[in-house]
Amino acid sequence: MIQSQTATVRLRKTLSPYAGLFVIFSIVSLLMLITGINAKDQEILWSSLYSLPFCGVLTFLMMSSYRIFWNETGVTMGVDLRKNTIPFTEITSVQYVSGYNTSRTSPFRKFNRIVIRGHDKRKDYIEISLHHFHSEDIATLMDEISKRRPDIEIPW
């Protein structure tokens, strides 16, 4: 399942949040391919054949930027080039959050997350998306937090 408890343990990703990107990239490449064949244009034809692997690599890079892992000291969220670590001793609460995204980019996208908060509630928090990671790995992490911090209620 996941690595041993002595090393850093990383939550495994699910492909479902990124499946739409694969579908969109495939449709765009297919349309470019059809256009290249119909127009008898070699440039469009080759561009369509090269675009799908390029878009696959781009999707993989987007997938790998959001990581959650933990070790003996605490839980870490890595997004892009930033890392936020909350030691187990500084965890103040673990909450289940459900609702709709209020940002302008995707206001109708429903999200379900587990939020781990530290002492500074505005800066020290880690969001674990229930759509991006395997539920059994999230359950393992919640069990680890519960073992180390029995005073905190775990909503899992």
pLDDT tens digits for range 71-129: 998 999 987 667 888 999 999 999 998 876 555 555 555 678 899 999 876 678 898 98
Task: Judge if pTM exceeds 0.85.
Answer: no
HEC readout, 36-79: HHHHCCHHHHHHHHHHHHHHHHHHHHHHHCEEEEECCCEEEEEE
Estimate to the nearest angstrom the gap between the alpha carbon of 94 and the chain centroid: 18
Local structure of 124: helix, strand or coil = coil
Dmax (CA) for the chain in angstroms is: 69
Indicate whether 69 pLDDT > 60. Answer: yes
